[in-house]
Structure 1
Amino acid sequence: MIVRTLREIAGTERDVNWGNGQSRRFLLEADGMGFAFTETLILAGTDIFIQYRNHLEACYCVEGEGEIQREGGDTHPIAPGTLYALNDHDPHYLRAWTDMRLISVFNPPIKGNERHNLSGDETSSY
């Protein structure tokens, strides 16, 4: 059985500052669950282009507001109670109007050392 608290993760290698917020990584590949589970804080004013080429991700918003926009496509508001799933390695823009807190699941699981690429290149390192 694995039991972890946010308090235990805070300030450790599982608490990753990615430039526009924090990624708290509760479950990683090494935990052997077949998926990763994170809580991510996205800071107000964030406007970032992301694509996960190696992972599928589902996010559930528990706090804050913003939007997600598929590259060259539709835009959807994000607010508490909204889930979005990047089921086709979708390149997308993520924008936070207020601080947002998302609960995310990655498949296959992330290792834990991945970082978003904030240099303006086309993809993150996921």
Structure 2
Amino acid sequence: MARMCSAQAQGTPSAAHPTTAAHPCGTFNGRVMASDKPLAGASIFVKGTSIILITNEEGFFTLPASVVNFPTLAVSAAGYAPQDFTYTSCVPATLEMELLPGTRIKQHGKRKGFIMKTGS
């Protein structure tokens, strides 16, 4: 099962869903990690919209809060178990992805760090 950890708040309130239509957060920030290392190129689909974000080389992403209040994200990356995450506050999130069984990361060769499927 994938785990989610909250990162340090950056001067934003961590209140639960507001009852007003105003956007309480300027942005929704987060980072996708795998084995405690940044996961670059992970896809983040914002449910209920047509927005797809891609994490940068350090695993970070930013979603403007004007898009949707407290979004639900569907996070996926090749070779990793997909997961959903719903923001309940303005606190940046850190999502830890789990490698799928039978998948390993090749660390040598011409292409560094690509995904290989092993076994059946």
Which TM-score bucket, shorter chain as reference? 0.3 to 0.5
More helix by share: 1
Which structure is larger by alpha-carbon Rg, 1 or 2?
2
Task: Normalising by structure 1, report the TM-score.
Answer: 0.32
Task: Normalising by structure 2, report the TM-score.
Answer: 0.33
